[in-house]
């Protein structure tokens, strides 16, 4: 993969009609950390000792896979091993071998269905999100993962056109996935949806499309296809990540992430204190090796109790002046 991944906040003018500060373990850690580091270190030609210890491996159908995350800039900096029991789910959603992927240098990026999810207390927001989508795209496929709708709402949602309501399979996952405000369901929804798709938009129900600009973002990935002359806009740099996060935040990563998380996802603390968090709530994801590798660790973190929402994590953040380098005060 010779990709020039990078994570760029695309300054989208999104009117977040609900409070922007709301909550999420919205993190971008896996994605942000991974993608931020990559371009920086890629050219440094560091010598890696990538002898992964025996203890990191999990076995599945007589193949071995390392379940210790190592950041791209130091393959010896191994995180705590994720529980091997999650390997079956990775296999189920085709994230284990990373073979069923596309290559943006050769393959077209197809139009992406919109994936979203919600529980019953978000039904009004979901309707409103859909209203905005339908203004521009009356028939664009939308897949909704039901995180706990009442029967009445399900019946209503099932009458919407090109709106596929799917039950989120809580029974497949550890019981703490039901704690919705730990937002473990988000990467799981994305993984479930992407199993059969080459690309998706993921949107929290708070996202509103105010301009019909999907092509603009497709182009940021389609430009990687060398002979693609049909772009509607031009991105000469063409250096966006295949896991394209679209909605910026207002604080750094370090101050708003429980340190325990880094035991599973080790990082470079100096680097992590610089960039602004880019939210996980709005993304365009292509099923490339790179993006699926990111998603794989994001999913493992979600499934591991102490990775995505370590005990004592507090969602509300009371930032002081320094929103980047101050010691962590919350987790989102």
Are 258 and 267 contacting, i.e. CB atoms less than 8 angstroms apart?
no
Residue number, 37 or 280, with CB nearest to ligand NAG: 37
Site for ligand NAG in 13-42 (CB under 6 A): 39
Is 175 a binding residue for ligand NAG by CB under 6 A? The answer is: no
**Residue of the chain from 55, 83, 97, 135 that contacts ligand NAG (CB under 6 A):** 83
Is the separation of the CB atoms in 7 and 245 below 8 Å?
yes
Among 43, 45, 151, 175, binds ligand NAG (CB under 6 A): 151
Q: In the bound complex, what is the minimum distance in angstroms from residue 240's beta carbon to ligand NAG?
A: 8
Q: Give burial (CB, 10 Å; 0-12/13-18/19+) of 31.
A: buried
Residue 234 binds to ligand NAG (criterion: CB under 6 A): yes
CB-side exposure of 173: number of CA atoms within 13 Å? 24
Q: Which residue, 9 or 105, has its beta carbon nearer to ligand NAG?
A: 9
Kindly tell me which of 4 and 100 has the beta carbon lying closer to ligand NAG.
4
Q: Looking at beta carbons only, is 85 or 106 nearer to ligand NAG?
A: 85
Long-range contacts of 293-296 (CB under 8 A, 24+ apart): 293/34, 293/98, 294/30, 294/31, 294/34, 294/35, 294/243, 295/95, 295/187, 295/190, 295/191, 295/194, 295/243, 296/90, 296/95, 296/96, 296/98
Which CB sits closer to ligand NAG, 275 or 281? Answer: 275
Q: Using CB positions, name the residue nearest to ligand NAG.
A: 237
Closer to ligand NAG by Cβ: residue 21 or 83? 83
Cα 218 to Cα 214: distance, rounded to the nearest angstrom? 6
Using an 8 Å Cβ cutoff, are 197 and 184 in contact?
no
Backbone angles phi, psi at 78, to 5 degrees: -90, 135
Instruction: Confirm or reject binding of residue 237 to ligand NAG (CB under 6 A).
Output: yes
Q: Residue 19 or residue 151: which is nearer to ligand NAG going by CB?
A: 151
Cα distance between residue 25 and residue 1, in whole Å = 29
Rounded distance, CA 259 to CA 80, Å?
A: 13
- The footprint of ligand NAG on this chain (CB under 6 A) covers a number of residues equal to 14
Q: Which of residues 238-257 bind ligand NAG (CB under 6 A)?
A: 239
- Please list every residue from 94 through 123 that binds ligand NAG, using CB under 6 A: none
Among 45, 51, 159, 175, binds ligand NAG (CB under 6 A): 51
Interacting residue ranges for ligand NAG, rule: CB under 6 A:
4, 6, 39, 49, 51, 53, 83, 85, 151, 233-234, 237, 239, 312
């Amino acid at each position: 993969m010779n990709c020039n991944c990078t994570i760029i906040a695309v300054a989208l003018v999104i009117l977040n009609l609900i409070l922007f500060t709301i909550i999420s373990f919205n993190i971008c850690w896996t994605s942000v950390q991974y993608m931020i580091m990559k371009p920086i270190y890629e050219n440094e030609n560091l010598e890696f000792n990538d002898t992964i210890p025996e203890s990191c491996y999990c076995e599945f159908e007589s193949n071995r896979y390392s379940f210790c995350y190592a950041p791209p800039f130091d393959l010896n900096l191994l995180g705590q091993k994720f529980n091997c029991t999650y390997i079956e789910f990775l296999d189920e959603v085709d994230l284990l071998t990373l073979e069923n992927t596309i290559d943006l240098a050769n393959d077209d990026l197809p139009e992406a269905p919109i994936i979203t999810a919600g529980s019953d207390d978000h039904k009004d927001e979901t309707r409103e999100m859909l209203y905005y989508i339908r203004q521009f795209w009356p028939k664009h496929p939308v897949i909704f993962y039901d995180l706990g709708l009442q029967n009445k709402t399900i019946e209503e949602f099932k009458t919407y056109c090109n709106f596929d309501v799917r039950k989120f399979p809580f029974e497949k996952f550890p019981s703490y996935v039901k704690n919705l405000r730990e937002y473990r369901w988000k990467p799981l929804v994305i993984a479930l949806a992407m199993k059969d798709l080459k690309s998706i938009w993921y949107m929290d129900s708070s996202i509103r499309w105010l301009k019909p600009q999907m092509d603009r973002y497709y182009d940021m990935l389609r430009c990687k296809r060398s002979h693609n002359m049909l772009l509607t806009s031009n991105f000469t740099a063409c250096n966006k990540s295949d896991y394209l996060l679209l909605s910026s935040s207002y604080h750094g990563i370090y101050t708003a992430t429980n340190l325990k998380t880094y035991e599973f996802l080790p990082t470079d603390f100096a680097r992590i204190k610089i960039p602004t968090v880019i939210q996980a709530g709005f993304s365009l994801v292509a099923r490339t090796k790179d993006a699926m590798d990111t998603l794989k660790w994001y999913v493992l973190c979600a499934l591991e109790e102490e990775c995505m929402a370590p005990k004592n994590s507090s969602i509300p953040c009371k930032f002081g002046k320094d929103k980047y380098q101050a010691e962590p005060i919350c987790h989102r």
